[in-house]
Structure 1
């Protein structure tokens, strides 16, 4: 907020709760620009009442980031399938219904462990590592399943019984994404922070989700994720990733999803796992998810870039709006 004030903006934090949705709506309609942090899936509720308010504000000329329609394109797991041909892609499949999952999953498990992801999963919820534990000698195969949520323990279940658990999910019209488990998961996850189309920092973290539990158990220190180490955009270890993102992968994403530059979120991130090393020993990177709706924390190096972009968009929205109001107030 301080960086925006330094640029000349009038800035305030506006809390949201469904119980006060009307008050929030009225306040947002007086703004020129709004940056939204709202967890799409939490114990406190969802965005079903907030998103229509944001769409209404955007239609009234307020700059909204991230717009709910952009979240629906970028911030879901189906983006992994839609963009699988980009350099960040892997052997990714999309199951549209229960019958497709039943027909194809066992065949794909033959190549090794797979990771199944609900389209709107986050925080490890709705993500499972699945691998064959016992083929059963012609009978129903038994699979080992590990949920990515913290403190989860693996369990074994007949494959048909696992598939049946997804029936209510598919009945809601959702899809399921299937990617191969990445053997280098233990090397950590790289979070690439982006403002519009520019990389503004990185975070590297040793994670434990989907890895075998240590002998000491789920509550042991060895079972806990490490801290996320923030680094600036020019961090030497990730320059090839930065170049790929800015020069190829983000433009490719925009083309595939039909997203204009000024529609890209002011702050978003792409989470990568290490893929196989190439013949020269250089790392490759596999996209595992994109976060759009609630990116925090983020590197200090991101603040100025995000503030500049937010202020620019707010000024542009302000100029369009004051033309019809005849006022000259500062962008808010």
Structure 2
């Protein structure tokens, strides 16, 4: 390796891409108004070169070429959205990672952390509850009735977001046959409870299981009305919190689903050192995140640069302190995020991009990305 060439490559600033869905390739004006703008500004303050990449399936080839010029890339793209899925994006991210680009979050990590099955695989951690996994329709038909006998349950499709694929189910009467009638409330905004025989509900999941997916079952948390706590994390460090009073899985008010009373309250952001959430922060950093890494076999440098864990308040402890129940982990498209997250996320992204550049220089004699 030419020593002067390697030194020159390492002393140039790392190039960090920020990719999110858009209708057209991102222009400078679009980038300035994007939710990711604070992170872009912080990266530039650190000395990074920032590449704002607007992604659409129609321009996937252009996005791929731009990705391959980067040392690191942060990605915001929901797996399920009105804009489509990630069937074209993920292979491009795999290719870029294979070329030495640091990708956050890597599709393989999303497949471990960003699915509802994580609630089952990590149920023994302190954030767990009475969680079950149904692998097929027969298992759901055999076991769900007994679990509903003890109270309302929440069924979650393995790959779901934005309230899609999440239902509150509870028995309303025993009906005239062997199967009870149940009330079913979808978590998507604007939903109303529907009453049906349990058998009819179970039959609705047949096509889902035929696609090879699983269904996760948790008890409904009675303290849902006290709000959801979103814990924002960069790698293995908590960088902020958000608290929001939500309406999902609660019966609509008498005024109707379109009334102001039926809408969720704004999420109130808090810094990582907010006093109300320090016990949650301690549990996350000292126990739950290390436990998650061990169970899922995810190294620290593989953890997403920005992810969040959504908690509901569980039963009070004997001395009156709160417990917390994990209801979801988001890694694909975390936005908005608290101001306290910006600098630590940017610093972590910068470090990973520098490390990726160093590895490529050491392995190939140059920092230039493959075309």
Pairwise TM-score range, normalised by the shorter structure: over 0.9
Of 69-78 and 213-222, more deviation after overlay is shown by: 213-222
Deviation, structure 1 residue 23 = 1.5
3-state SS of paired residue (2:54): coil
Partner Cα distance (1:265, 1:331) in 2: 24
Contact kept? 2:105, 2:304, Cα under 8 Å: yes
How many angstroms does 1:167 deviate by?
A: 0.3
Q: CA deviation at 1:19?
A: 1.3
Q: Distance in 1 between matches of 2:90 and 2:261?
A: 40
Shift of 1:322: 2.6
Post-superposition shift, 1:254?
Answer: 0.1
CA contact (8 A) 2:153 2:217 kept: yes
Q: Give yes or no for contact 2:233–2:306 (8 Å, CA) kept in 1.
A: yes
Structure 1 residue 22 displacement after superposition: 1.4
The offset of 1:236, in angstroms, is: 0.2
* 2:99–2:369 contact (8 Å) kept in structure 1: no
The answer to whether the Cα contact below 8 Å between 2:94 and 2:107 also exists between their aligned partners in 1 is yes
Q: Which deviations, in whole Å up to 9, do the C-alpha atoms of 1:130-167 show, x marking residues without a partner?
A: 00011125443110000000000001011111000000
1:325 CA displacement: 5.2
Are residues 323 and 145 of structure 1, via their aligned partners in 2, closer, same or farther at CA, if it must alter by over 3 Å?
same
Contact 1:97–1:175, Cα closer than 8 Å, also in 2 = yes
Question: Hey, what's the Cα distance between the residues in 1 that align with 2:152 and 2:116?
Answer: 18
Give yes or no for contact 1:8–1:330 (8 Å, CA) kept in 2.
no
- Pick closer, same or farther for the CA change 1:161–1:312 going to 2, 3 Å: same
**Shift of residue 214 of structure 1?**
1.1
Alignment of 1:93-172 (within 5 A): 93-172=132-211
**Local SS of the residue matching 1:125:** coil
TM superposition shift of 1:327: 4.6
The whole-number CA distance in structure 2 between the counterparts of 1:119 and 1:328 is 39
Alignment partner of 1:192 out of 226, 231, 245 = 231
Q: Distance between the aligned counterparts of 2:197 and 2:229, measured in 1?
A: 34
Gaps of 5+ in 2: 1-39
Question: CA 1:205 to 1:331, structure 2 compared with 1: closer, same or farther past 3 Å?
Answer: farther
Note the alpha carbon deviations across 1:222-259, whole angstroms, 9 max, x for none: 11100000000000000000000000000000000000
TM value normalised by structure 1: 0.98
SS of corresponding position for 1:55: helix
Residues matched between the structures, number: 332
TM-score of the pair, normalised by structure 2:
0.87
Q: How far apart, in 1, do the equivalents of 2:273 and 2:142 lie?
A: 46
Does the C-alpha gap of structure 1 residues 23 and 329 become closer, same or farther in structure 2, counting only changes over 3 Å? closer
Partner Cα separation in structure 2 for residue 329 and residue 57 of structure 1: 13
Per-residue CA deviation, residues 15-41 of structure 1 (Å, 9 max, x unaligned), is 111111111111111110000000110
Picking from 253, 258, 274, the partner of 2:292 is 253
- Whether the aligned pair in 1 keeps the contact of 2:68 and 2:369 (CA below 8 Å) is no
**Structure 2 counterpart of 1:14:** 53
Name the CA shift for 1:267/1:230 in 2 (closer, same or farther; >3 Å): same
1:224 maps to which of 248, 258, 263: 263
Which SS does the other structure have where 1:13 is aligned?
Answer: strand
What secondary structure is seen at the aligned counterpart in 1 of 2:312? strand
Distance 1:167 1:305 in 2: 44
Q: Distance in 1 between matches of 2:365 and 2:121?
A: 45
Displacement after TM superposition at 1:323 (Å): 3.3
Query: Secondary structure at 2:76's aligned position in 1?
Result: coil
Single out whichever of 135-144 and 10-19 deviates more from structure 2: 135-144
1:211 CA drift (Å): 0.6
Q: Given that residues 9 and 330 in structure 1 are in contact (C-alpha distance below 8 angstroms), is that contact kept between their aligned partners in structure 2?
A: no
Q: Give the structure 2 partner of residue 303 of structure 1.
A: 342
1:219 is displaced (CA, Å) by: 1.2
**Deviation of the 1:213 alpha carbon:** 1.4
Q: Provide the rounded CA distance (Å) in 1 between the counterparts of 2:369 and 2:113.
A: 32
Q: Deviations over 1:250-301 (max 9, x none)?
A: 0000000000000000000000000000111000000000000100000000
Q: Deviations over 1:24-74 (max 9, x none)?
A: 111111110000000110111100010011011101100000000000000
The question of whether the paired residues in 1 share the 8 Å contact of 2:122 and 2:292 is answered with yes
- Match of 1:137, SS state, is coil
Q: Which runs of 4+ in 1 moved over 2 A?
A: 137-140, 322-332
- In the alignment, the residues of structure 1 paired with residue 213 and residue 146 of structure 2 have an alpha-carbon distance, to the nearest angstrom, of 22
